[in-house]
Amino acid sequence: MKIGIPKETANGERRVALVPDTVSTLVSSGMEVMVESGAGLEANFSDDMYREAGAVLLPDAVSLFGSAEVILKVQGPSINDAQNKHEVDLMADGATLISFLQPLTNLDLVKKLKAKGITSFSMDTVPRIARAQSMDALSSMSSIAGYKAAIMAANSLAKYFPMMITAAGTYAPAKGLVLGAGVAGLQAIATAKRLGAVLKAFDVRAVVKEQVESLGATFVGLTEDEKTEDAGGYAKELAEEAQRKERELLHGYSKEADFIISTALIPGRPAPLLITEDMVKDMRAGSIIVDIAAETGGNCELTEPGAEIVKYGVTIHGPLNLPSSMPVHASQMYARNISSLFLHLVKDNQFNLDFNDAITNGCCITHQGNVVHGPTKALLEEGDVR
């Protein structure tokens, strides 16, 4: 089986789908791994390192996409500017693709994959079950994002994070508020706590209270009157009245915070609005907001995705693709995730797709010219009806 690892072309993307260690593992199991020259350079993995791992280096995307039976990527296929062609058009008919596809918000891409007969698997739809932990790239990348968000907050804040006792006086620790206690939020709490800040954390899911407290933060905002978690363990979008009450609660906590790290996301939907403009107005001058939900609109009403702005004396960061800012470890973690999923789908160097398996069924988007992912199929059918 021929596996292709192209150079990522998305703007600002520095990760690579496989690192030399995972290439070596696949080669030793009988796979042929082809890597586009320069694919790993942004993550400090040279072409020579891939050659030593047993990969075949190819000079460009055309030769790689045209030769590979399986394409492993980080970002979903897009226009390759060097070739002036869409990467799906460069793929062989009936090939297999594994990457982050975000199918619920990329329906046009799903249609292209279907038309090309591509069997595709999306890393962001791997179910959160015990058997799939080694394949859970969302958690891996969210952990990096949470860590980096805490570092950004500390770097931007014009105060110490920890309490400091000096000859020039004693200075209180910074007070932080983390919104969303998923993987990113918990890592943000842990990192900020290690730096010495005092933390509060908000989430609509009561089940995360114990995890928040185990990291030394105070849990706030317990919601008990409606179901707040979906079957996959993600927060659900709440009714408008419940959201209004939560924003009122957060308004009080935001006034006390030196920094806020917001991480709340709803799969396939815009990020929930948790920080209004009025809340920002009432924050202390010099406070910091790091909104890592910026890619899906942001949790803060004033967030500008991809920008750092100052409003009412508050610095608001809207970072995009934080995992790519740490490409070495992000690539190593992602490579382990994607290779674990790939090996789960393969037996004796051939794909052995069992759609009764929760992992395969959960992350397969298109197969044999059909859309087989239930939520994506429903969205497409809804669009056709309209």
Residue 137 in any domain: the answer is no
At which of 298, 320, 342 does a domain end? 320
Residue 136 in any domain: the answer is no
Residue 131 in any domain: the answer is no
More confident site: 73 or 80: 73
β-bridge mates for residue 36, sequence order: 58
Q: Cβ–Cβ contacts within 10 Å for residue 85, how many?
A: 14
Q: What is the pLDDT of residue 154?
A: 98
**Same domain, yes or no, for 309 and 332?**
no
Residue 130 in any domain: the answer is no
Residue 134 in any domain: the answer is no
Q: What is the pLDDT of residue 385?
A: 47
The SS3 of residue 223 is coil
Cβ burial 264-292 (10 Å sphere, 16+ → b, else e): bbbbbeebbbbbbeebbeebeeebbbbbb
Residue 267 in any domain: the answer is yes
Its domain, for residue 221, covers 142-320
**Same domain, yes or no, for 8 and 121?**
yes
Q: What is the pLDDT of residue 266?
A: 87
At which of 304, 320, 336 does a domain end? 320
For the chain, how many structural domains are there in total? 2
The DSSP code for 94 is: T
Q: What is the pLDDT of residue 236?
A: 54
Q: Is 301 exposed, middle or buried (0-12, 13-18, 19+ CB in 10 A)?
A: middle
Give 224's contacts (C-beta < 8 A, 6+ positions apart).
206
CB contact at 8 A, 46 and 38: no
**Same domain, yes or no, for 229 and 165?**
yes
Residue 147 in any domain: the answer is yes
Residue 214 in any domain: the answer is yes
**Same domain, yes or no, for 72 and 155?**
no
CB contact at 8 A, 121 and 142: no
**Same domain, yes or no, for 308 and 353?**
no
**Same domain, yes or no, for 257 and 151?**
yes
Rounded percentage of the chain residues whose pLDDT exceeds 90? 87
**Same domain, yes or no, for 235 and 118?**
no
pLDDT tier at 222, thresholds 50, 70, 90: low
Residue 269 has pLDDT above 60, yes or no: yes
Residue 356 has pLDDT above 60, yes or no: yes
Mean predicted confidence (pLDDT) in 147-155: 98
**Same domain, yes or no, for 174 and 53?**
no
What DSSP line would sit under 15-83, residue for residue?
A: --S--HHHHHHHHHTT-EEEEETTTTGGGT--HHHHHHTTPEEESSHHHHHHH-SEEE-SSPP-EETTT
- CATH number for the domain that contains residue 114: 3.40.50.720
d(CA 308, CA 153): 12
**Same domain, yes or no, for 314 and 337?**
no
Over residues 314-329, the pLDDT tens digits come to 999 999 999 999 999 9
The continuous run of DSSP H or E covering 249 comes out as helix 240-256
The whole-angstrom distance between residue 376's C-alpha and the CA centroid of its chain comes to: 19
At which of 271, 298, 320 does a domain end? 320
d(CA 386, CA 380): 10
Q: What is the pLDDT of residue 228?
A: 54
The whole-angstrom distance between residue 210's C-alpha and the CA centroid of its chain comes to: 24
**Same domain, yes or no, for 108 and 17?**
yes
Q: What is the pLDDT of residue 181?
A: 95
**Same domain, yes or no, for 293 and 341?**
no
pTM of the model: 0.92
**Same domain, yes or no, for 295 and 263?**
yes
Pairing of strands 85-86, 79-80: antiparallel
Measured CA distances, 184 to 147, 175, 254, 262 (Å)? 7, 18, 19, 9
CB contact at 8 A, 370 and 119: no
Catalytic residue set: 128, 133, 136, 139, 234
Over residues 24-69, the pLDDT tens digits come to 999 999 999 999 999 999 999 999 999 999 999 999 999 999 999 9
Residue 380 has pLDDT above 50, yes or no: yes
Q: What is the pLDDT of residue 268?
A: 79
Q: What is the pLDDT of residue 386?
A: 45
Over residues 272-292, the pLDDT tens digits come to 999 999 999 999 999 999 999
120 backbone dihedrals φ, ψ, rounded to 5°: -120, 145
